[in-house]
Structure 1
Amino acid sequence: MTEPSRSHTEILDLTVGIVSAFASHNTLQPEDLTKLISDVFSAMRDAGREKTARVQPVTKASASEIRRSITREALISFEDGKPCKTLRRHLTQKGLTPATYRAKWGLPPDYPMTSPAYSEQRSQLARSLGLGQQRRRRKPDGASDET
């Protein structure tokens, strides 16, 4: 036997084993069984082949594009060009993390994930609520400040 026919035979044996195990535990219609056999066989055949990697080339943003993407009110996404106050939520919907987004577009590690105006707004809100300040000890009632 030649190498390709033996490989074909091995794939056929594996397909028979998988389909028979599946069919013994599940109810199948006859037309579904033929589709299952062909699907399993093609999957087994393709699994043995070396696939060429479909890696997207890393698209590096130029320095001027990076500068233009950061505006006072919003950050412009390199993924789809939409302006966002915070990129984290937008990237999560695209299935990306900030680190993978920065790596994909060749952005520096300190590239912001929130717009400057939004950061200032949140900072002012936190200050007005007293966050980040040590709590001042209250003096008991009746105690005077003078000693």
Structure 2
Amino acid sequence: MDDSTAKNEMLITLTSDIVAAHVSNNSVAVSDLPLLIQNVHAALAGLDSPAPAPEVRQEPAVSVRASIKPDYIVCLEDGKKLKMLKRHLMTHYQMTPEDYRAKWNLPADYPMVAPNYAEQRRSLAKKIGLGTSRSRKKK
């Protein structure tokens, strides 16, 4: 007799013993017996499989507070110093800014761009007139 046959016979024997003990001490409808047998057998068969590995929580490369500097933002995934985080997240981790914020439990207003770089872009936009309404010439 090979190992798998012996294991199956042992599972059947244990299942029948457990179901018989349960039925002798509890009232079970005849229509519920097949389901009871199936559940007990599945539970016993599942004991042989290894337990799932506990989920390892990733620690950030730096603290959230230390990740925002005037000239760069530090990626919590890998510790890289970047001016713009959004593209880095998508190309290396296939994460959107929302996914990133959710993973690291960051506030909705957590920046994806370094503060000085954002200010530089803002002043450039103002200089070329973006965000202002044009006045039309009247005929």
Q: TM-score, normalised by structure 2?
A: 0.55
Give the share of equivalent positions with the same residue, in percent. Answer: 42
Separation (CA, whole Å) in 1 of partners of 2:58 and 2:109: 19
Separation (CA, whole Å) in 2 of partners of 1:51 and 1:95: 29
Which residue of 2 is the match for residue 97 of structure 1? 96
Separation (CA, whole Å) in 1 of partners of 2:96 and 2:50: 29
Separation (CA, whole Å) in 2 of partners of 1:106 and 1:61: 14
Partner of 2:118, secondary structure, is helix
Query: 1:48-87 counterparts in 2 under 5 A?
Result: 52=52, 55-57=55-57, 59=59, 65-87=63-85
Q: Following TM superposition, by how much is the alpha carbon of 1:102 offset from its aligned partner in structure 2, in angstroms?
A: 1.3
Separation (CA, whole Å) in 1 of partners of 2:98 and 2:108: 8
Q: Following TM superposition, by how much is the alpha carbon of 1:54 offset from its aligned partner in structure 2, in angstroms?
A: 6.6
5+ unaligned residues in a row in structure 2: which ranges?
10-48
Which residue of 2 is the match for residue 24 of structure 1? none
Which residue of 2 is the match for residue 108 of structure 1? 107
Higher relative contact order (CA 8 A, sep 6+): 1
Q: Following TM superposition, by how much is the alpha carbon of 1:4 offset from its aligned partner in structure 2, in angstroms?
A: 5.4
Q: TM-score, normalised by structure 1?
A: 0.52
Separation (CA, whole Å) in 1 of partners of 2:7 and 2:133: 76
Per-residue CA deviations over 1:16-42 (Å, capped at 9, x if unaligned) read xxxxxxxxxxxxxxxxxxxxxxxxxxx
Separation (CA, whole Å) in 1 of partners of 2:113 and 2:136: 35
What residue identity is the alignment partner of 2:101? R
Q: CA RMSD in A?
A: 2.9
